[in-house]
Amino acid sequence: MKILKLLIGLPLIPALAQTIFVLFLFIAPLSAEDNQTITLEQALDAAIKNNPELAGFSFEIQAAEARSLQASLRPNPELEAEVENISGNLPGAHRSETTVGIRQLFELGGKRPTRIKKADAELELLRRDYEALRLNLVSDITRAFITLQGMQKRLELTREGYRIASMLSSSVAERVAAGAVSPIEETRARVTLAVAATDVERAVKEVEEARQELAKSIGFTSPFFSTAAGELRDEVVIPDLNVLEGRLARNPDLTRWELERNTRDAALAVERSMAIPDVSFFGAFRRLNESTENTLVMGLSIPLPVFNRNQGAIREAASALSKTEQERRSGEVKLRTQLAQRHSSLVSALKEVHVLHEEALAGAQSAYDAVSEGYNLGKFRYLDVLDAGKALIESKLRYVDALVALNVSKIDLERLIAGPLEPGINTSAEK
């Protein structure tokens, strides 16, 4: 709005001077510290290194590895010492009996193997969840990168629209000075130029917001780059839906359910093994001080599972295992529905890109060129050229939006299949 007031409120400034001033204001390069280009690969590398969730997940995996190690350890032996007959009717240490022995617990029912299996299954499940989190991060960063690329293109187009409005304003001013058109036309031209300037100002703000969002996604509080390198894709090879459904099996959100089932199955085996009592063996050396004789003492201890046979924990683990299959089916239905929707969105986006490129853009450019040439020859009015210019810029902006939608739809679909749409081509989903 400041620029709008400046252009309208200073009628004595020549149109050419106004044009140069605003062009300098909007096309001036960014500051030196921000004058750096970032590629998608650099953004992904920085995000993976700086993301706190991934870092925290790696520590959780280390903790799970430690639990797996702990699960493999056997019970420690116990050292026991006992002195009898040191008081009462048989006083005196010379008539006491001293026993020193070792007690060892032996786990029965396969407790240790099932415990190890459960810990290993939990570790593999965490690793799969880590992969899903990493793929989500890659998709989010790529989406933010594409958004910034689209905003950059929109900024270029709004600047192009400003240049068109500026040239028309200068041309109208010359015609007014020559008495060929009414001064009202010059006022219209200046208002149009001011509106175009505010469009550029808004586009600059949108680019800055997109830069901030990408920087935040990477893990920085402020952008360390000025622009996102590369161009938006305008062509995508889209496999048939049935082909993609076969590749959906690679999605970690789906494959994790097999590991979840293994984990709960192992948990059930652990609870069942707990129903079998363990055996404690005791072996000791006894010293009879009165007769100065030595003897061996042996013992065996077995709990009697009369009341507690771990029934409740077994039923709970069995219910959790049965629930897994229902959760897997629900997750698969959800993913297949998303796959069909995103496949349809990608097909529609590709069709829109083709239609806009082959029909709308070409027609808008041809119309603008013809009207501009006719205006210079006096065949068309200023408003005709203005309308043709607006139609051209709007068509190009629509095309950019369609490109962004195409690229984002591609990324979303690749996230679902956890790989590229085109075999043999590395994409963000495989970073």
Output the CA–CA distances (angstroms, integers) from residue 414 to 159, 244, 336, 402, in the order listed. Answer: 34, 10, 13, 18
Alpha carbon separation from 25 to 18, 28, 160 (Å, rounded): 11, 6, 14
Q: Which residues contact 31 (CB under 8 A, 6 or more apart)?
A: none
| Residue 418, in any domain of the structure | yes
DSSP 184-224: HHHHHHHHHHHHHHHHHHHHHHHHHHHHHHHHHHHT-SS-S
pTM higher than 0.75: yes
Query: How far apart, in Å, are the Cα atoms of 304 and each of 193, 277, 280, 344?
Result: 93, 7, 13, 64
6 lies in some domain: no
In a domain, 216, yes or no: yes
pLDDT tens per residue across span 40-82 = 999 999 898 888 888 888 899 999 999 999 999 999 999 998 8
Decide if 164 is inside a domain: yes
Q: How far apart are CA 132 and CA 357, in angstroms?
A: 36
pLDDT tens per residue, the chain (431 residues)? 444 443 434 343 444 444 444 444 454 444 434 468 999 999 999 898 888 888 888 899 999 999 999 999 999 999 998 888 776 565 555 677 888 999 999 999 899 999 999 999 999 999 999 999 999 999 999 999 999 999 999 999 999 889 888 887 787 777 777 776 667 877 887 888 898 899 999 999 999 999 999 999 888 888 889 899 999 999 999 999 999 998 988 899 998 999 999 999 999 999 999 999 999 999 888 888 777 788 888 999 988 888 999 999 999 999 999 999 899 999 999 999 999 999 999 999 999 999 998 888 888 888 877 887 776 776 767 677 777 888 888 899 999 999 999 999 999 999 999 988 876 444 444 44
CB 332: neighbour CB atoms within 10 A? 16
Residue 358: CB atoms within 10 A of its CB come to 10
Amino acid sitting at position 398: R
* CATH (domain of 389): 1.20.1600.10
Any domain includes 3: no
Q: Say how far apart CA 265 and CA 263 lie, in whole Å.
A: 5
pLDDT in tens, 363-419: 888 887 788 777 677 676 767 777 788 888 889 999 999 999 999 999 999 999 998
CA angle, 319 then 325 then 331, to 5°: 125
Q: Which domain range does residue 364 map to?
A: 14-430
**Own/partner long-range contacts of 303-307 (Cβ < 8 Å, ≥24 apart):** 303/277, 303/278, 304/277, 305/275, 305/276, 305/277
Percent of residues, the chain, with pLDDT higher than 90: 48
Instruction: Tell me whether residue 207 is in a domain.
Output: yes
Q: Residue 4: inside a domain, yes or no?
A: no
Question: Is the residue at 9 inside a domain?
Answer: no
Spatial separation of the C-alpha atoms in residues 279 and 403, rounded to whole Å? 70
Distance CA 390, CA 133 (A): 44
Give the three-class secondary structure for 236. coil
Number of domains in the chain: 1
